[in-house]
Amino acid sequence: MGKKTWILSLVAGIVSAIMIYVGSNPNALPAKVLGILEKPSEPQQLYHVYLGGKSLGLIESKADLEKYIDEKQGTIKKKYNVNKVYIPNGLDIIQEITYNDKTYTTEEIYQKIQEQEGGSSFTIDGYQIKIAGYEKSTEDGGTAIEEDKIIYVLDKEVFTNSVEKTIKSFIPEEEYDNFLNETQKEIDGTGKLVEDLYIKNNITITKTRIPADSKIYLTEEELCKYLLFGTTEEQATYTVQAGDTITDIAFNNKLSPDEFLIANTSYKTSQDLLYPGQVVTLGIIQPQFDTVEETHVVSKKTKERETVYQDDNSRYAGEETTIQEGSDGESLVTEKIQLINGEITSTVPVSEEVTIQPVDRIIARGTKQKHIGGSISSGVEVPVGIGSWVWPTNAPYTITSEFSYRWGKLHKAIDITSTGYGAPIKAANNGVVTTSAYNSMNGNYIVIKHSNGYFTEYAHLAERYVKQGDVVYANDVIGAMGRTGFAQGVHLHFGLWSGPAYTGTPLNPRSLYR
């Protein structure tokens, strides 16, 4: 007997035995359960439901499930004022031709969805906005890419209008409108032209079905608050007391005056008067996108007098006599200025026209030094006395950031731009160099100790011309302006400390020149 004939005979025998057994035993299992003999049922067109890739079962009608979900979501419809609710994202309903006749009812599949997702992931028509982060410098000298922000709205105009209102927090409305409408006036003498205005982040708007349990912004007011402060929680407030100024309130609450004005748009300048009883907002600004404004500015600036010293080695350093007081002049200065979220990040000088010539101040000063004792450190004896304080950069200059709070953190210096990269940086007074070094935060920096216990700090330098232990005099060139370390643009970070730099008490350098 051949192998094939033998197998067929064996199968026939088994089938005969089963038929005899079933016929003689009424309690035997039906042939359908045994999976033998009964002809397979006809294939059916059904729908296989998957949630997050996990099978929930088969249903007969996709449309019935979608309709049932829509009918059951009255709460969502009322909350968002929509007419239609859809299946959850991640729920796939796939048509299949199958012999499997085990199906579930619409209600059973709905219950399975409820059990899997808590019933809160059903979706509605809306828009997903992605505000992409971009690479920025970090304080440790490296770079990092900000996290993307995802925003959901039902009406696209809620987002576009909120963005426009947020931009106007940083740019005067008239200036914004004139730029968009191309109605800016040409500069006549002095003035400002906005050359470009844009959002640095890449923003995409996609029409999609959004989860109803997500944070969905329904009003411009709520979304504006988030775009400006990074939260929709109520911001702290303060009731104005007699004698309060905007500058004082801002500083005492870790805000810069500019941040105060952004959070309180009814005030235009930090010199605006306050009245007792007024309630002001103290929210720390945390913009969710960066608004860049590039401008061409022509302005009149003081051309400060230079200080010229006549050395006298018969007197100790710090002893001075003014021979000629001199006088300041005036210049017409043209600059390219970039601002991000209303803060100056860089200035590039274009031209300077001196309209009134300054007259030099002439001072006779002693140069005789005392003995230096001890090692060169913050505790070293300073061999030269204090003379008059001089400004550390050439004129004209711009202060791009004050000694104030910025994004909730105290900026313990003033940032100054002058005549560009490589411009000379001068010692603000007589002293001894305690530090001439580099680190990732300050870049090239110098610290000078003065005999009155003050220390001055000069950071982000392109070059350093002095070393630790050097005795310097007011107006000596000690370095060149740059943007080393954690710096957004070319500038001098000029700090003043009572006591050792970084461990003493930071002071506003402007106080030296009042």
pLDDT of 103 > 80? The answer is yes
What contacts 198, CB < 8 A, 6 or more positions away? 291, 292
* Cα torsion through 292, 493, 462, 418, rounded to 10: 70
pLDDT reported for residue 43: 87
Q: Rounded mean pLDDT of 22-40?
A: 43
Average pLDDT of the chain is 89
pLDDT digits (tens, 9 = 90+) for 112-133: 998 875 555 899 999 999 999 9
pLDDT of 73 > 60? The answer is yes
Cα 220 to chain centroid, rounded:
21
Lowest-confidence segment of 215-219, 287-291, 359-363, 366-370 by average pLDDT? 366-370
pLDDT of 52 > 60? The answer is yes
Separation between Cα atoms, residue 190 and residue 186, nearest integer Å: 10
pLDDT reported for residue 372: 61
pLDDT digits (tens, 9 = 90+) for 149-177: 999 999 999 999 999 999 999 999 999 99
pLDDT reported for residue 377: 67
The answer to whether 217 and 226 have CB atoms below 8 angstroms apart is yes
Q: Rounded mean pLDDT of 385-402?
A: 92
pLDDT of 364 > 90? The answer is yes
pLDDT of 39 > 60? The answer is no
pLDDT of 456 > 90? The answer is yes
The answer to whether 59 and 109 have CB atoms below 8 angstroms apart is yes
The answer to whether 468 and 512 have CB atoms below 8 angstroms apart is no
pLDDT digits (tens, 9 = 90+) for 258-270: 889 988 988 989 9
Tell me the pairing of strands 477-481 and 492-498: unpaired
Q: Establish whether the linkage from the previous residue to 396 is cis, with ω within 30° of 0.
A: yes
- Specify burial of residue 306 (Cβ count, 10 A radius: 0-12, 13-18, 19+): middle
Question: Phi and psi of 494, rounded to 5°?
Answer: -110, 110
pLDDT reported for residue 376: 64
